[in-house]
Amino acid sequence: MTIPCTRFVFTLGILVGLVWLGSAAQGREPTPELSLLELQKVLVSKKFIDLTHEFAPGIPHWPGFPDEQQKTIYWYEKQAGLMGDGFFAEVFTHVGQWGTHVDPPAHFHKGLRTVDQIELKEMILPLVCVDVHEECAKNSDYTLSIDRLKKWESDHGTIPAGAFVAMRTDWSKRWPDAAKMANKDSEGVAHYPGWSLPALKYLYEERKITASGHETTDTDPGLATTKDDYSLEAYILGINHYQIELLTNLDQVPESGAIVIVSFPEGCLRQDGQPLRSSRLLSTADGLSGSRNRHDSRHVRISLAPTERRSRDRVFHSSRI
């Protein structure tokens, strides 16, 4: 396991700053800056939720992509056909947009940012979860509207600048059944929820969020993707922001009061996509409120690298490596 110390310390330095600035933003006396050891104790005392599907051959994916291939090349004992023995190692082959993954701007737009150009500060974000799962249960073609976002704000306050906005539809409960995820009718038309352009413009242009994510395979609703219309995804990536697709466990996430950390290997230069592990850390029950001695109710997540269902040879990362 290799974790570059400079990157690890730098990341924690950012988190310490979040603890201090969070108190000031709430109008309370700033909490004294924590040492890294103190901060580590704060982090491990909190509740962690993994927002990432395990990935493996056969999982739901865009139909134009090939399936994942997985091959053991070393095993503990000698076996015919392998490269060697003494330890366990595997080779995985899959597209960047596999399982729960990040779409960087360059995925759709030549010349815009690739995965390696997403800054660390864009990976530690206030989490906003818009819960529309009841609406989606009644209408598979549901799209998120500005009115629904304003209702969220009337309940929880203004969506903070720099936030990560996740749309909870509970569509991830259909995983890993590709047919249920696509939800096609007898004529081959897909029916699954998505965003709307007015809602996305409100979030990115007025509220100045950093990124967004959803549980479905696409930003655009199924009615649009059936016609090869991916204009909503093109909009997000075209304004040089990234998005996360195929999130899960949003039913365990509060609508406000947590911070998400999106973590993925830096990968190759100019990479156009990457599986990831996205997680968040729950705060105390009353979120950001509290007295000075409750500075440990900040919301931070140190994440791990992508998870393979059948892999026992994993590489762990703190933030992006």
| pLDDT per position as a tens digit, 180-226 | 999 999 999 999 999 999 999 999 999 999 999 999 999 999 999 99
- Is 88 contained in some domain? no
What does residue 148 show for φ and ψ, rounded to 5 degrees?
-70, -35
Q: What is the mean pLDDT of the chain?
A: 78
Question: What is the distance between the alpha carbons of residues 99 and 264, in angstroms, rounded to a whole number?
Answer: 13
pLDDT score of 121 more than 50: yes
Spatial contact of 116 and 316, defined as CB atoms under 8 Å apart: no
User: Any idea which of 33-37, 45-49, 207-211 has the lowest mean pLDDT?
Assistant: 45-49
Find how far residue 148's CA is from the centre of its chain: 22
Residue 31 pLDDT grade (very low, low, confident, very high; cuts 50, 70, 90): low
pLDDT average, residue stretch 247-260: 92
Residue 319 buriedness (CB in 10 A; 0-12 / 13-18 / 19+): buried
Question: What is the distance between the alpha carbons of residues 211 and 243, in angstroms, rounded to a whole number?
Answer: 5
Residue 61 pLDDT grade (very low, low, confident, very high; cuts 50, 70, 90): confident
- Is 76 contained in some domain? no
Between β-strands 101-103 and 274-275, what pairing exists: parallel, antiparallel or unpaired? Answer: antiparallel
Residue 255 pLDDT grade (very low, low, confident, very high; cuts 50, 70, 90): very high
| pLDDT per position as a tens digit, 142-184 | 999 999 999 999 999 999 999 999 999 999 999 999 999 999 9
What does residue 279 show for φ and ψ, rounded to 5 degrees?
-145, 170
User: Any idea which of 9-18, 128-137, 150-159, 286-295 has the lowest mean pLDDT?
Assistant: 286-295
Higher per-residue confidence, 70 vs 271: 70
User: Any idea which of 31-35, 142-146, 291-295 has the lowest mean pLDDT?
Assistant: 291-295
User: Any idea which of 99-103, 158-162, 183-187, 287-291 has the lowest mean pLDDT?
Assistant: 287-291
Question: What is the distance between the alpha carbons of residues 124 and 319, in angstroms, rounded to a whole number?
Answer: 9
What does residue 131 show for φ and ψ, rounded to 5 degrees?
-90, 105
- Is 267 contained in some domain? yes
213 three-class SS: strand
Using CA atoms, how far residue 63 sits from 71, 97, 140, 226, 248, in Å, is 22, 12, 20, 12, 20
pLDDT average, residue stretch 227-249: 96
Q: What percent of the chain has pLDDT over 70?
A: 72
- Is 140 contained in some domain? yes
Spatial contact of 137 and 170, defined as CB atoms under 8 Å apart: yes
Angle at 57 between CA 55 and CA 58, to 5 degrees: 100
> What tokens were used for 278?
């996205």
- Is 257 contained in some domain? yes
| pLDDT per position as a tens digit, 67-77 | 889 999 999 99
- Is 150 contained in some domain? yes
DSSP state of 95: -
CA nearest to 236, candidates 92, 142, 109, 53:
109
Range of the domain at 188: 5-67+95-297
- Is 315 contained in some domain? no
Give the CATH number, domain containing residue 274: 3.50.30.50
- Complete edge-to-edge strand list for the sheet that includes strand 211-214: 47-50, 277-282, 258-263, 124-131, 164-168, 211-214, 242-245, 101-103, 274-275
pLDDT average, residue stretch 95-103: 84
- Number of separate domains in the chain: 1
What does residue 308 show for φ and ψ, rounded to 5 degrees?
-100, 130
pLDDT of residue 173: 97
β partners of residue 277: 263
pLDDT of residue 36: 84
- Is 304 contained in some domain? no
E-strand ranges in 64-179 read: 69-75, 84-85, 89-93, 101-103, 124-131, 164-168
pLDDT of residue 27: 58
Contacts of 249 (CB under 8 A, 6+ apart): 49, 50, 51, 172
